[in-house]
Amino acid sequence: MTKHYTGLIERYRDRLPVSASTRIISIGEGNTPLIQLQNIPRLIHKEVDIYVKYEGLNPTGSFKDRGMTMAVTKAVEEGSQAIVCASTGNTSASAAAYAVRAGITAFVLIPEGKIAQGKLAQTLMYGAKIIQIKDNFDAGMKIVKEIIDHAPVTLVNSVNPYRIDGQKTAAFEIIDELGDAPDYHCLPVGNAGNITAYWKGYREYAADSGKLPAVASKAPVMCGYQAAGAAPFISGKMVDNPETVATAIRIGHPQSWDYAWAAQKQSGGWFDCFTDDKILAAQKMLASFEGIFCEPASAASLAGALNDIGSGKIPEGSKIVCTLTGNGLKDPDIAISQCAEDKPVVVEATLDAVKRAILEQM
Ligand code: F0G
């Protein structure tokens, strides 16, 4: 009998801080597809292997579920009755879902009017206690870091080390599937927890820690991409009023600042940023040439990879993985506005009218 997949903690139990008696809070996260792009490399006339790690297929539609299964498992193990986070939308949806699964309460702080519709819908459905603040993510983050001293709640943002432990399993999955680490790993950077987690996972499998047997021969070059209006890693200093259409990464004061710089330096990688237009173009390209729909922030990874392949910074012959952090359905408004010129035709409901509509568009 094949073993039923029960989530990433079970799969990577020996590399995660759980014991035999730990009650695991899981919704079947992880084990997401690693999809090789077929059309885009041909389109750009480059000999490169580009894979996308489609994290939008996690239970709540983003990579946050990897960290949340660990953070909520440990919060429950430590006796917590409530969790709290600040969020640009995905963390709040994930926290809300895992809190339900655990039977505890989730309090989420979100910037009023600045989170995508899909994320708001999920968080409402899961029944989280939503607190909208009249400021941005960074302001919310500052408050939740202080609130834990004033209320009996566990913080589940990525400053919680268990979040990083859960998220590092994405690197394990990539190596398990490819047989070794890729040459380059490209991902969007906001609060910088995910780049920190991937780097930890890659290093562990390359046995850099000295404690574990090596599974991979190397760790990849880490390439972190931001939106031009929210790019503290490019300016080298915090940004007070971040702005971007990619609301998931509308962050100016990343919490994992030092860890992200360490990942960049130790891997020989780099940070770069792109305009909203370039990010949205990559999102559309992925959907229309590969049939893969990610949210705007996620497309920063592909925008960056294509830019750096084009300039030769990432040489031909490379194996590249781009993380697609969230599902395209998270942000239907941006998707529909991107396709304003592709309005569906409206015809009479007759065989003849439909036949004409098809033949005209062949
Ligand atoms: N992509 C998506 C879709 C995200 O939701 C986030 C972060 C990132 C990329 C950046 O990851 O913060 O680890 O560098 N979203 C957080 C949230 C901030 O609240 O959902 P990071």
Residues 208 and 322 placed together within one structural domain of the fold = yes
Residue 114 lies in a domain: yes
CA distance 203 to 219: 6
* 145 CA to centre of own chain: 22
Regarding whether 316 and 195 lie in a shared domain, the answer is: yes
Residue 4 pLDDT: 86
- Number of structural domains the chain divides into: 2
Final residue of a domain: which of 159, 180, 205? 159
d(C-alpha 243, C-alpha 76), whole Å: 36
Structure confidence at residue 1 as a pLDDT band (50, 70, 90): low
Residue 30 pLDDT more than 70?
A: yes
Asked whether residue 130 is domain-assigned, the answer is yes
**From CA 31, how far away is CA 305, in angstroms rounded?**
23
Q: Strand pairing of 154-155 and 129-133?
A: unpaired
Mean pLDDT of 245-274: 98
Q: Which atom of ligand 1 is nearest to the CA of 62?
A: 3
Q: Are residues 69 and 35 in the same domain?
A: no
pLDDT at 153 over 90: yes
Q: What is the pTM of this model?
A: 0.97
- Looking at residue 209, its pLDDT comes to 67
CB-based contact 289:319 (threshold 8 Å): no
Amino acid at the residue 62: S
User: Does 71 score more than 70 pLDDT?
Assistant: yes
Considering the domain boundaries, does residue 36 fall inside one? yes
Kindly state whether residues 190 and 323 are assigned to the same domain.
Answer: yes
Question: Which of 92, 126, 159 is the last residue in one of the domains?
Answer: 159
Question: Cα separation of 265 and 268, whole Å?
Answer: 5
Rounded CA gap, 206 and 174, in Å? 13
Can you give the pLDDT at residue 246? 98
Residues 102 and 238 in one domain: no
Ligand 1 centroid vs 248 CA: distance in angstroms?
Answer: 5
Percentage of the residues of the chain whose pLDDT score is greater than 90: 95
Residues 185 and 95 in one domain: no
pLDDT of 212 over the 80 cut:
no
Ligand 1 centroid from CA 191, angstroms? 6
110 in a structural domain = yes
- Going from the Cα of 44 to the center of ligand 1, the distance in angstroms, rounded, reads 28
User: Cβ < 6 Å from ligand 1: which residues?
Assistant: 62, 64, 87-91, 158, 188-194, 248-249, 295, 297-298, 325-326
Query: Three-state SS for 10?
Result: helix
The residues that bridge with 85 in the sheet, in sequence order, are 108
Domain shared by 218 and 138, yes or no:
no
Q: Which of 106, 126, 159 represents a domain boundary (last residue)?
A: 159
Helix (H, G, I), strand (E, B) or coil at 96: helix
Residue 244 lies in a domain: yes
pLDDT at position 213 is 74
Ligand 1 center to residue 90 CA distance, Å?
Answer: 7
> In which band, very low, low, confident or very high, does the pLDDT at 343 lie, cut at 50, 70 and 90?
confident
The answer as to whether 155 is a domain residue is yes
Whether residue 23 sits in one domain with residue 99: no
Residue 79: pLDDT band with limits 50, 70, 90: very high
The pLDDT, as a whole number, for residue 176 is 97
* pLDDT score, position 208: 72
- Give tens-digit pLDDT for 297-329: 999 999 999 999 999 999 999 999 999 999 999
Q: Give the percent of the chain with pLDDT over 70.
A: 98
Specify the pLDDT at position 210.
Answer: 67
Handedness of CA 156, 82, 252, 328 (dihedral sign): positive
Atom of ligand 1 nearest to the CA of 158: 13
Mean pLDDT (the chain) is 97
Instruction: Identify whether 173 is part of a domain.
Output: yes
Helices (H), the chain: 8-11, 40-43, 64-77, 90-102, 117-126, 137-147, 161-167, 169-178, 193-205, 232-235, 257-267, 276-290, 296-310, 332-338, 351-360
- How many Cβ atoms from other residues are within 10 Å of residue 271's Cβ? 21
Domain around 33: 8-61+163-338
CATH code where residue 132 lies: 3.40.50.1100
* DSSP letter for each residue of 189-258: -SSSHHHHHHHHHHHHHTTTTSSS--SSS--PEEEEEEETTB-HHHHTS--SS---S-GGG--SS-TTHH
Which of 155, 194, 255, 327 best tests ligand 1's pocket when mutated (most atoms within 8 Å of CB)?
194
Mean per-residue pLDDT for 109-126?
A: 97
CA angle 187, 265, 206 (to 5 degrees): 75
Amino acid 207: pLDDT: 85
Q: Which helix (H) or strand (E) holds 130?
A: strand 129-133
Shared domain for 205 and 326, answered yes or no, is yes
Inter-axis angle of helices 193-205 and 257-267, nearest 10: 40
The reply to whether 55 and 171 lie within a common domain is yes
Q: Report if residue 96 sits inside a domain.
A: yes
Whether the pLDDT of residue 239 is over 70: the answer is yes
Q: Do 232 and 278 sit in the same domain of this protein?
A: yes
* Same domain (yes/no): 68, 144: yes
